[in-house]
Amino acid sequence: MIGILAVQGGVREHELVLDELGVQHRQVRRVEHLNGLSGIILPGGESTTMSKLLELGGLLRPLIDALTSGLPAYGTCAGMILLASEVLDTRPDARCLGALDITVRRNAFGRQVDSFEADLDFHGIDSPVPAVFIRAPWVERVGDGVEVLATVPSGPASGAVVAVRSGRVLATSFHPECTGDARVHEMFLAMVSEAGYVHEV
Ligand code: GLN
């Protein structure tokens, strides 16, 4: 059972990908929805709003505890921001989950290219992955043990780090759930199978 954090943002797109892959899923809005999960997806949306709603709903601490206990997680865009240990260009009261030792910059691509598409070489996937960036963050620092899986290939943001993995946690600046290519989700599901974790609240 895969959870999809559903306090705000693009939940439906991830549900459709998991449906296509024949994977059971459940929306996570309250603490009890974490029970029995083998993995969780944090969707795109607006990270500061998600942070506020997580705090107000009492889900912030239980989610941090679940990630610390070993619940595998995949964050897209705002989900990547939430998983980070440090966030630049955010609100001073925004909280993050600290599951990935990375520094991300919100809305990093600037106005001219703030939304764009690119085909990315993605470590572990054998042909280029189409990527949709929507007011996306990029990764400015990766800590020890964090593997860079993809960078922007060309253009003004060439070289920017946009996909990372550390242990059971995967994050992309972009939205594979919007392209019809399920291979990044399949990579996450392989991590989930390998972890063999079931969360108990
Ligand atoms: N710019 C958004 C944020 O800072 C993220 C955008 C997205 O998830 N597509 O939260």
pTM over 0.75: yes
Q: Residues 14, 15, 33, 77: which is the catalytic one?
A: 77
Give the residue among 42, 67, 60 at the shortest CA–CA distance from 173: 42
Q: Is 175 a catalytic residue?
A: yes
d(Cα 54, Cα 39) in Å, to the nearest integer? 18
Using pLDDT thresholds of 50, 70 and 90, give the confidence band for residue 156: confident
Q: Residues 2-195: name the CATH superfamily.
A: Class I glutamine amidotransferase (GATase) domain (3.40.50.880)
Q: Please check the confidence at residue 115 and state whether its pLDDT lies above 70.
A: yes
Tokens read off for 189? 């599901």
Q: Is 177 a catalytic residue?
A: yes
Q: What single letter denotes the amino acid at residue 93? A: D
Distance 35 CA to ligand 1 centre (A): 27
pLDDT digits (tens, 9 = 90+) for 17-33: 999 999 999 999 999 99
Average pLDDT over residues 146-156: 95
Q: Please check the confidence at residue 113 and state whether its pLDDT lies above 80.
A: no
pLDDT of residue 176: 96
Partners of residue 171 on adjacent β-strands: 75, 164
For the chain, domain boundaries: 2-195
pLDDT of residue 13: 98
Instruction: Please check if 95 is assigned to a binding site.
Output: no
Q: Please check the confidence at residue 124 and state whether its pLDDT lies above 70.
A: yes
Q: Please check the confidence at residue 193 and state whether its pLDDT lies above 90.
A: yes
pLDDT digits (tens, 9 = 90+) for 157-185: 999 999 999 999 999 999 999 999 999 99
Q: Please check the confidence at residue 141 and state whether its pLDDT lies above 90.
A: yes
pLDDT of residue 111: 74
Give the burial class of 13: count Cβ atoms within 10 A of its Cβ; 0-12 exposed, 13-18 middle, 19 or more buried.
middle
Strand 129-134 and strand 84-88: pairing? unpaired
pLDDT of residue 112: 66
Q: Is 86 a catalytic residue?
A: no
Query: DSSP code of 179?
Result: T
| Mean per-residue pLDDT of the chain | 97
Instruction: Specify the ligand 1 atom closest to the Cα of 133.
Output: 9
pLDDT of residue 196: 98
Is the distance from CB of 85 to CB of 143 less than 8 angstroms?
Answer: yes
Instruction: Please check if 135 is assigned to a binding site.
Output: yes
Q: Please check the confidence at residue 106 and state whether its pLDDT lies above 70.
A: yes
Q: Please check the confidence at residue 42 and state whether its pLDDT lies above 70.
A: yes
